[in-house]
A and B are shown apart, each in its own frame.
Chain A
Amino acid sequence: MTAVKLESSIAEDETVIAMQNVNKWYGDFHVLKDIELTVAKGERIVICGPSGSGKSTLIRCINHLEEHQEGKITVNGTVLDKNLKNITHIRREVGMVFQQFNLFPHMTILENLCFAPVWALNMPRAKAEETALHYLNRVGIAEQKDKYPGQLSGGQQQRVAIARSLCMNPSIMLFDEPTSALDPEMIKEVLDVMIELAETGMTMLCVTHEMSFARSVADRVIFMDEGEIVEQNTPAAFFDAPQVDRTQKFLSQILSH
């Protein structure tokens, strides 16, 4: 893998996500515990940790797919509360890519990409299609635009899903294990798209266990366990000198295969 480290594009003085003392429960189960996290504009964060540690829940709170019960989440200056207007506003600025792609199977690729710009931003269809083709070109599947998602490989579907998010011109991108459902030979094509996106200065939060990606792209690696942020550091320090026992144990498991 490329050991080349991507140049950082952090704008230190500009916080785009601030989570203050965030707590969340599923019934009695305390899934997020006192989460404190600030993300600067252009920062690229990789979140890792054992299964069930609350990684998905954490990033899904940022666009309110999950609701937190305590604490304060601010995205681009807008506080997330029950106000649907605020929620929708934030969702338009925050793109999300899912493990299972979640493309709309009843729409062609082009329709998948045009759907949100047309129905959420009232963009004229011609303009939406132009934008869509631009991003399809960028992820390298413009020639598939009239196919249905079911006709594409997993890697292609995930690239379409990324393009679909980009069509809304988001300032922040969330990735929830984008390569976990892919066959090994398709992981690279998706990671390449993500690296390219990182090069454009996009603020990114990625839940992933692709450690080479973390090393070359991330500005900061966050380790979660049992609903807590246990440790966070630059990738070099995180991988080479983990401070906490739980991190060391996790890394040895991850790297052993």
Chain B
Amino acid sequence: MQETTVTFQPTEPRPAPVHQTKAIAWLRSNLFGSWFDTLVTLALTGLLLSFVPDLIRWLFVTATFQGDDTVCRENGGACWPFIIEKFQVLMIGVYPQDLAWRPAICAIALVVLAWLTYWDRIRGVALIVAWAVLPIFALIMIGGAFGMQEVDQSVWGGLMLSIMLALVGVIVSIPLGILLALGRHYGSPAIKVLCVTFIELLRGVPLITILFMASVMMPLFLPPELVINNLLRIQIGLIMFSSAYMAEVVRGGLQAIPKGQSEASLSLGVSPVYTVAFIIVPQALRHVLPPLIGRCIALFKDTSLVIIVGLLDFLGMIKSAALDTDWLGFQAEAYVFAALVYWLICYSLSLYGRQLEKRGPNART
């Protein structure tokens, strides 16, 4: 009967090492793969350790979230009440407070349209029309028309102005860039020379020079009745600069389209204009979507240069806030906030672009 008392003895459960070994394997292959990788990893870790703790302390631990400048100075860390107080001026400049809802509506319209585009809810002609109408709508809302109280352009400012400059710049310079690229690719020799000259002239000059020309020199050469306001001149400068770069991006796309595409369309009796508009350009744009989005991001960042010709865009407002005598000594907070906002917007644009690339037949095949 001895046998019956033998109890089942389970062996020790083995450790569940999956995650650990996975993590170790990952570390080994990615960070400590060779002596050189190990060296780089250690050096970078050291570098991070040397400033990240201090940064976190400054940003959060010793930072002030409520109170005034005296409290801030006592705590010694970052002074967020400063940013909170300046928030509105950073967003819309000295735009009248009681009308702030107007740019807010524009911002909502922009987000909604971007959302609809992102989820493919709006396509084709409607998509193009919607994006073309958006800046016009924004100009009317912000500037005032049709009985709405008018707001002079001299008080447009802050992030609103930066986004406005970039948005109008992108939306106008993409079609212009397409036309320039088409002229360079398909045009008669005269048109070709014209397009190439324009593109190469503008690409050969720093943006600051163009902005100075638009702001300072254009009024000198134009008859007084033709002088348009400073903001519009600078917007035109930005558009010209951007369209030259867009043109080069689009040209790359045009070159990638096989000749058979236009031949097929032409042989069906479709006119050359429609062939270019519906067969060539859509495919070319799809090819160059990543660099095109890159140009949009670059243009948004470039708008920060308009501070030099006296516009108070987002960065301009940051700068003037940093000089406020009530809040002296809090420049760092202002620029950290500026960097954060620029990064947030540019990184979202970049993610947005990546999502757009995934769509379309290129991704489906």
Contacts and interface: CB of A to CB of B under 8 A. Distances in A.
A69 interface: no
Interface string A143-161: 0000011110000000001
Nearest to B286: A106
Interface string A79-104: 00000100011011111101010111
B271 A120 contact: yes
B274 A119 contact: yes
A208 interface: no
A148 B364 contact: yes
B260 interface: yes
A150 B272 CA distance: 25
B267 A63 contact: yes
B136 interface: no
B309 interface: no
B53 interface: no
B120 to A, nearest CB: 14
B320 to A, nearest CB: 48
A98 B264 contact: yes
A119 B267 contact: no
Interface string B261-292: 10111111111101000110011001000000
Contacts of A106: 282-283, 286, 360-361
Interface residues of A, number: 31
B8 to A, nearest CB: 58
B342 to A, nearest CB: 34
Nearest to A88: B269
Contacts of A148: 361, 364-365
B281 to A, nearest CB: 10
Given A151-B364, A151-B365, A165 B268 contact: yes
A116 interface: yes
A102 B360 contact: no
A65 interface: yes
Interface residues of B, number: 24
B267 A120 contact: no
Interface in A163-197: 164-165, 168
Given A106-B286, A115-B278, A148-B361, A164 B268 contact: yes
Given A115-B278, A148-B361, A148-B364, A102 B271 contact: no
Q: Is the interface of A mostly helix, strand, loop or mixed?
A: helix
Interface string A60-75: 0001010000000000
Given A100-B260, A104-B279, A119-B274, A91 B266 contact: yes
A98 B365 contact: no
B94 to A, nearest CB: 47
A17 B286 CA distance: 40
A190 B82 CA distance: 74
A149 B269 CA distance: 21
Given A106-B361, A148-B365, A91 B263 contact: no
A102 B361 contact: no
A146 to B, nearest CB: 11
A105 interface: yes
B260 A98 contact: yes
B261 to A, nearest CB: 6
A91 B269 CA distance: 5
Contact of A91 (B267, B360, B365): B267
A83 B258 CA distance: 26
Interface in B51-108: none
Contacts, number: 78
Contacts of A116: 265, 268-270
Nearest to B285: A106
A150 B365 CA distance: 5
Contacts of B272: 84
B361 A150 contact: yes
A189 to B, nearest CB: 20
A102 B264 contact: yes
B269 A102 contact: no
Contacts of B271: 88, 119-120
Contacts of A149: 361
Nearest to A119: B274
B243 to A, nearest CB: 24
Chain A CB within 10 Å, residue with most, of B258, B261, B361, B365: B361
Interface in B226-240: none
Nearest to A161: B264
Contacts of A121: 269
A65 B267 contact: yes
Given A91-B267, A119-B270, A120-B271, A105 B283 contact: yes
A65 B269 CA distance: 11
Contact of B278 (A63, A105, A119): A119
B365 to A, nearest CB: 3
Chain B CB within 10 Å, residue with most, of A92, A95, A106, A161: A106
Contacts of A161: 264
A65 B261 contact: no
A95 B267 contact: yes
Contact of A150 (B266, B279, B286, B364): B364
Given A98-B260, A116-B269, 7 more contacts: A91-B267, A91-B268, A94-B267, A104-B265, A106-B361, A116-B265, A121-B269
6 contacts: A63-B267, A100-B260, A104-B283, A115-B268, A120-B269, A150-B364
Interface of A: 63, 65, 84, 88-89, 91-96, 98, 100, 102-106, 115-116, 119-121, 148-151, 161, 164-165, 168
